[in-house]
Each structure stands twice: as structure tokens, then as C-alpha cells.
Amino acid sequence: MADIAIDLGTANTLIEIRGEGLVVNEPSVVAVERDSGRVRAIGLEAKRMLGRTPEGIIAVRPMRDGVIADVDMADLMLRHFLERVLPRGLFKVKPTVVIGVPSGITEMEKRAVRAAVIAAGAKAVHLISEPMAAAIGVGLPVTSPKGSMVVNVGGGTSEIGVIALSGIVADASIRVAGNEMDEAIMGYVRKSRNLLIGEATAEGVKIQIGSAFPLEQEREMDVTGRDLVNGIPKSVRVNSVEIRECIQEPVFAIVAAVRRALETTPPELSSDIIDAGIVMTGGGAQLRGLGRLIERETGLPIHLDEQPLTCVVRGAARVLEDRGLYQSVLS
């Protein structure tokens, strides 16, 4: 039976089939024809079209802030990924799916997720909150009375959870993460250099020279876009100091959310966190210096998982393997 774990993220969709490991890790983007609605590309191929499409084609992100913004597109995207990885005929035996969702998700948003996954061919859909899935994915003892803390920074949301006895004891969920940093970079380059750049370029700047904490050796790079004054393509040079300053607002919103979760943590669990520290997961956790900044602001040791992008899907897959042990973490 091909039971499936899914991390349906704002930036990337990851799918793991029980017993087979990770089979899909692609951007959550669908390119469609504006008039006919016909799908032209899904995933990596569609992401390459972002900001490059001719007038008749639009690149759509079905996910926004960690939840489904366009149910039809999400259904199309999931169906495409699942049909690609499940052997022909196996889809007739409908799989059980465990899917990671933000801890701050509303009932209406939960229904949208379930509807999309069932429409894509699932028999049963179990939801698991992202901090819990990430904690299980990195191997934290979530079923024990000992407290563990996870900070999962994704594309659309940052999820913080203090976990003990298979439950989230204290949490904070904010819709600020990697995408807001990209938008801040786009806004800064536009304002300071009169240069219009796209999402993909801004993301490239963040990955190459972005940081949350001063670097030992500051970096710089050339950024190309359209000059807003004369409309001609232009290249400008930006450095890591100015990029760090322009992404301060989203970065400090994440730090503030971590502090809020700590403030509502019971004292007994706080002592466990002092000993064990905070585990950071999610693609956004790879921003240089983010761990050091949180360490400075909280005084707690920080551990970044070796594969932060896959923690949620790994945790969801582990739940499928041992449903008896983890039954209480599912909704």
C-alpha cells in the first residue's frame, strides 16, 4: 500500500512514499494559459517561467502563507505530482495521506486542504501541524514528558512549537517567512536603485548574500533588472550589509514570535529547553546568521538540522510508519 506523506508548502511541495523515501521536491507553481485555463507547466518548469511568461500565460502559486489560496490549482498540482510518482494502476488503490499544515490554520483552510488532497485521489487525509511534523522528522522525543522546541521557517509561514507528551504546549504561528524577505529585497532595490527586479532575482540575492547577523566577510553581487526611469535593462551592485538591513523587519518578526512562544512555556518545560536548546528547520532557517541572532536574543543554544527543507515531510512519513505511536498527534 503506497501511503503518502506530503509537505504542501508555499514555496515547495515535497512528497514521500512510505518505503521509497522522497520522490518529489518541486516548487509549488503552476503555469496556465490565461484564456483557456490549460496547464502549460507544473513545478520546476513552471517556476522558471515566473516573471518571464508571455502575455497569454500566467504563473500561479496555489499556496499563500502556508495554506491553499487556489483550491483548483492546488488540486491540479497535487494530482500531477501524485500521478507522476505512483505506478500506473496503483492509484486505483487510494492511499492514506498525512499532510503537514501550519499550526495557526483555520477550520475553513483545513477543509480546503482535505478537499484538494481527496480530489487528487486520497482515501483518507490526516493533518499534522508543521512544528510537530518537523520535531518528529528531526528525531525529537515528542511523546515523552521532556520539552522540545522547534522553529520551522518556511516560504509563507514561520511556526514555533514547544512540544511534550505528543502535544504542542506553547506555540506561535506567523505568516512571515522567506517570501516576505524576497518582497523586502524587491522593495529596497526599487526604492534605493530605481530598479525593478522579479521574485526569482530577489530570492537569488537572499540566498547568495542575505544574512540576519553580521558576516565575518561581507559580500556583494550584481543585480540586473529594469531601470524605472528610462525602462532600459540595467545592472547595479548591492552588498550584504544593505540587504541585511532591508530584511530586518521580517527577520525580527520571526525572533519576536520565538520570544512569544517562550513566554507562554510552562517553567518545567523551560528548563528542558535550556538543556536541549532550540532546533531550527525549514528552508528559511538556512538564512545566514538567523540561528546566531535567535541565540543572541534568547540566550538559548540553537541547532540547525542537516536537511532543514525536508524535516516536515520526513516527520509525516515517520507518522505513517508508526501510526500507533503517533495517533494522538494527528487531526
State the CATH number of the domain containing residue 265. 3.30.420.40
User: 168 and 285 in one domain?
Assistant: yes
- Let me know if residue 202 belongs to a domain: yes
- Let me know if residue 137 belongs to a domain: no
User: 278 and 147 in one domain?
Assistant: yes
User: 15 and 117 in one domain?
Assistant: yes
* pLDDT bracket for residue 87 (50, 70, 90): low
- Give the closest residue to 211 by CA, choosing from 242, 167, 174: 242
User: 264 and 240 in one domain?
Assistant: no
Q: How many domains does the chain have?
A: 3
> For position 48, what pLDDT does the model report?
87
**Which domain-ending residue is among 246, 271, 297?**
246
Instruction: Look up the domain containing 260 and give its range.
Output: 143-176+249-307
- Let me know if residue 138 belongs to a domain: no
Q: Do the bridges between strand 96-101 and strand 4-8 make them parallel or antiparallel, or are there none, so unpaired? A: parallel
Say how far apart CA 178 and CA 162 lie, in whole Å. 22
User: 253 and 241 in one domain?
Assistant: no
| pLDDT above 90 as % of the chain | 69
Average pLDDT over residues 23-27: 94
| 56 Cβ contact partners less than 8 Å away, ≥ 6 residues apart | 33, 34, 35
- Let me know if residue 290 belongs to a domain: yes
How far from the centroid of its chain's Cα atoms is residue 186's Cα? 20
**Which domain-ending residue is among 199, 225, 246?**
246
Q: Which helix (H) or strand (E) holds 276?
A: helix 267-276
**Which domain-ending residue is among 246, 264, 295?**
246
pTM of the model as a whole: 0.91
pLDDT digits (tens, 9 = 90+) for 159-194: 999 999 999 999 999 999 999 999 999 999 999 999
User: 271 and 189 in one domain?
Assistant: no
* pLDDT bracket for residue 88 (50, 70, 90): low
